[in-house]
C-alpha cells in the first residue's frame, strides 16, 4: 500500500513532472508580469508566480520524504515558452492581449499536466494535495482567460 513516505515510482515521476511545470509556470508568470503595463494584471501574475513556487516546494517535500532528489529547475519546453513570451513581449510591448494569450497557453499546459498526473496516480495518498493544487490552477486559468477576453485588441 502506498503511503506518503513510500510512494510508487509512478507517483514520484508524476510529482517530478508537476514540480518542473510549476517552476516553469512561476518563471513564466514573472516574465509576463514584467511585460504587462497594467499594474493590476502584473500584480495578479506575481501572485500566481508565488503560488506556483509554493506548489513546487510542497511537492518537492513529498519527493524528498521518499529519499529522491526533487527537480529543481524547469523544463526545456518551459524555457522555450518563456523565450517566446519574452520575444513576443519585446515586439508587442504594451499588447496586453498578446501577453495574456501566451499566459493562457501556459495555463492550458499546466492544467493538462495536472489532469494527466491525477489520472495516473488515482488512489494515491497525495490525491487531496494534487486536487487542491489543480483546483487553484484551474481557477487561475479561468481568471487569465477572462482577463484576456476583457482585453481584446
CATH number at residue 145: 1.20.1260.10
Of the candidates 80, 104, 131, 87, the residue with the CA atom closest to the CA atom of residue 29: 104
CA distance 14 to 69: 14
Tell me whether residue 115 is in a domain: yes
What is the tens place of the pLDDT at every residue in 84-136?
455 455 445 557 888 888 888 889 999 999 999 999 999 999 999 999 999 99
Non-local (6+) Cβ contacts of 147 within 8 A are: 41, 44, 100
CA distance 75 to 81: 10
In percent, the amount of the chain with pLDDT more than 70 equals: 84
The residue segments making up the domain with residue 19 are 9-150
Tell me whether residue 3 is in a domain: no
Tell me whether residue 1 is in a domain: no
Who wins on pLDDT, 109 or 73?
109
Tell me whether residue 131 is in a domain: yes
State the residue for C-alpha cell 486559468: 141
Tell me whether residue 21 is in a domain: yes
DSSP 73: S
Tell me whether residue 29 is in a domain: yes
Who wins on pLDDT, 143 or 102?
143
Who wins on pLDDT, 16 or 100?
16
Please tell me the pTM assigned to this model.
0.87
pLDDT of residue 91: 41
- Please say if the pLDDT value at position 18 is more than 90: yes
Non-local (6+) Cβ contacts of 75 within 8 A are: 20, 21, 24
Of the candidates 58, 63, 67, the residue with the CA atom closest to the CA atom of residue 133: 58
- The mean of the pLDDT values for the chain is 87
In percent, the amount of the chain with pLDDT more than 90 equals: 63
Compute the residue count for the chain.
153
Here the cell at position 143 is 481568471
pLDDT of residue 3: 95
**pLDDT band (50, 70, 90) for residue 50:** very high
Give the chain's domain count: 1
Tell me whether residue 97 is in a domain: yes
Tell me whether residue 67 is in a domain: yes
Amino acid at each position: 500500500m502506498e503511503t506518503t513516505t513510500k510512494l510508487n515510482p509512478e507517483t514520484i515521476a508524476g510529482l517530478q513532472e508537476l514540480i518542473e511545470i510549476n517552476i516553469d509556470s512561476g518563471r513564466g508568470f514573472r516574465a509576463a508580469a514584467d511585460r504587462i503595463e497594467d499594474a493590476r494584471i502584473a500584480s495578479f501574475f506575481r501572485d500566481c508566480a508565488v503560488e506556483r513556487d509554493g506548489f513546487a516546494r510542497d511537492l518537492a517535500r513529498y519527493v524528498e520524504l521518499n529519499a529522491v532528489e526533487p527537480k529543481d529547475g524547469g523544463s526545456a519546453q518551459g524555457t522555450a515558452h518563456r523565450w517566446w513570451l519574452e520575444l513576443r513581449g519585446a515586439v508587442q510591448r504594451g499588447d496586453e492581449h498578446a501577453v495574456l494569450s501566451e499566459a493562457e497557453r501556459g495555463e492550458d499546459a499546466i492544467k493538462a499536466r495536472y489532469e494527466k498526473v491525477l489520472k495516473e496516480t488515482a488512489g494515491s495518498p497525495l490525491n487531496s494535495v494534487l486536487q487542491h493544487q489543480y483546483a487553484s490552477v484551474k481557477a487561475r486559468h479561468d481568471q487569465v482567460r477572462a482577463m484576456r477576453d476583457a482585453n481584446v485588441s
